[in-house]
Amino acid sequence: MNTDMKKKMSAPHVTRHSVRASAIIRSDQIHRYMDHGRDFIQDDLIWEKIHKQKNPDPVRIRDIIQKSLTIQTLNPDETAALLNVKDKDLWQEMRGAAIEVKKRVYDNRVVTFAPLYCSNLCINNCLYCGFRSENKAVQRRMLTQAEVRRETEVLAGEIGHKRLIVVYGEHPKTGLDYMIETIRTIYDVKVKTYKGTGNIRRVNVNAAPLSIDDLVRLNGSGLGTYQVFQETYHHETYRKLHPVNTVKGNYAWRLYSLHRAQEAGVDDVATGVLFGLYDWRFELMGLLYHARDLEQKMGVGPHTVSFPRLEAAINTPFIDKTPYRVSDEDYKKILTVIRLSIPYAGMIITARETPEIIREMIPMCTQRDASSRIGVGAYSDPYEKQEAHRQQFILGDTRSLDEVIRELAQMGYITSFCTAGYRCGRTGKRIMDLLRSGREGQFCKLNAVLTFREWLDDFASEETKKAGETVIQKEMEEIKNRCPSVYSKAICRKLDSYYDLIKKGDRDLYF
Question: How far is it, in rounded angstroms, from Cα 152 to Cα 143?
Answer: 12
| Binds ligand SAM (CB under 6 A): choice among 100, 268, 311, 440 | 311
**Phi/psi at 280 (nearest 5 deg)?**
-65, -30
Question: How far is it, in rounded angstroms, from Cα 301 to Cα 421?
Answer: 17
Least distance (Å) from ligand SAM to the CB of residue 23?
18
Interaction between residue 392 and ligand SAM (CB under 6 A): yes
Out of ligand SAM, ligand SF4, none, which partner does residue 106 contact, by CB within 5 to 8 A per kind? none
Interaction between residue 377 and ligand SAM (CB under 6 A): no
| Binds ligand SAM (CB under 6 A): choice among 78, 107, 147, 170 | 170
* Contacts (CB under 6 A) with ligand SAM, residues 274-293: 274
Least distance (Å) from ligand SF4 to the CB of residue 416?
29
With residues binned 3-state (H G I as helix, E B as strand, rest as coil), the percentages for the chain, rounded to 5, are 50, 10, 35
Interaction between residue 313 and ligand SAM (CB under 6 A): yes
Question: How far is it, in rounded angstroms, from Cα 39 to Cα 32?
Answer: 10
User: Cβ contacts of residue 116 below 8 Å, gap of 6+?
Assistant: 148, 151, 152, 155, 164, 165, 166, 167, 186, 379
Interaction between residue 167 and ligand SAM (CB under 6 A): yes
In degrees, rounded to 5, the angle at the alpha carbon of residue 391 between the alpha carbons of residues 400 and 302 is 75
- Classify 14 as helix, strand or coil: coil
Q: Which is nearer to ligand SAM, 274 or 444 (CB)?
A: 274
Q: Which is nearer to ligand SAM, 79 or 391 (CB)?
A: 391
Least distance (Å) from ligand SF4 to the CB of residue 367?
21
The answer to whether the CB of 304 falls within 8 A of the CB of 345 is yes
Q: Which is nearer to ligand SF4, 64 or 252 (CB)?
A: 252
Interaction between residue 310 and ligand SAM (CB under 6 A): yes
* Contacts (CB under 6 A) with ligand SAM, residues 213-252: 228-229, 231
Q: Which is nearer to ligand SAM, 169 or 198 (CB)?
A: 169
Containing 165, the helix (H) or strand (E) segment is strand 163-168
Q: At what angle do helices 176-188 and 145-152 cross, to 10 degrees?
A: 40
Least distance (Å) from ligand SAM to the CB of residue 205?
9
Question: How far is it, in rounded angstroms, from Cα 359 to Cα 407?
Answer: 9
Q: Which is nearer to ligand SAM, 166 or 365 (CB)?
A: 166
| Footprint on this chain of ligand SF4 (rule: CB under 6 A) | 122, 124, 126, 129, 131-132, 169-170, 248
Least distance (Å) from ligand SAM to the CB of residue 274?
4
Within its chain, how far is the Cα of 336 from the centroid?
Answer: 17
Containing 10, the helix (H) or strand (E) segment is helix 3-10
Radius of gyration from C-alpha coordinates of the chain: 23
Out of ligand SF4, ligand SAM, none, which partner does residue 308 contact, by CB within 5 to 8 A per kind? ligand SAM
Interaction between residue 169 and ligand SAM (CB under 6 A): yes
Q: By CB under 6 A, which span of 10-18, 39-47, 56-64, 205-213 interacts with ligand SAM?
A: 205-213
Q: At what angle do helices 280-298 and 76-83 cross, to 10 degrees?
A: 160
For residue 202, CA distances in Å to 235, 375, 445 come to 34, 21, 18
Name which of 482, 403, 487, 479 is nearest 448 in CA terms: 479
Q: Is the torsion defined by CA of 427, 433, 438, 443 positive or negative?
A: negative
Which residues, listed in sequence order, are joined to residue 198 by a DSSP beta bridge?
A: 191
**Phi/psi at 191 (nearest 5 deg)?**
-120, 135
Least distance (Å) from ligand SAM to the CB of residue 121?
10
Q: By CB under 6 A, which span of 43-51, 59-67, 309-317, 435-443 interacts with ligand SAM?
A: 309-317
- Exposed (0-12), middle (13-18) or buried (19+): which is 55, by Cβ within 10 Å? exposed
Interaction between residue 29 and ligand SAM (CB under 6 A): no
Interaction between residue 391 and ligand SAM (CB under 6 A): no
Interaction between residue 142 and ligand SAM (CB under 6 A): no
Out of ligand SAM, ligand SF4, none, which partner does residue 227 contact, by CB within 5 to 8 A per kind? none
Out of ligand SAM, ligand SF4, none, which partner does residue 454 contact, by CB within 5 to 8 A per kind? none
Interaction between residue 207 and ligand SAM (CB under 6 A): yes
Q: Which is nearer to ligand SAM, 193 or 237 (CB)?
A: 237
Least distance (Å) from ligand SAM to the CB of residue 278?
13
Q: By CB under 6 A, which span of 125-133, 184-192, 278-286, 446-454 interacts with ligand SAM?
A: 125-133
- Classify 284 as helix, strand or coil: helix
| Footprint on this chain of ligand SAM (rule: CB under 6 A) | 128-129, 131, 167, 169-170, 206-208, 228-229, 231, 274, 308, 310-311, 313, 392-393
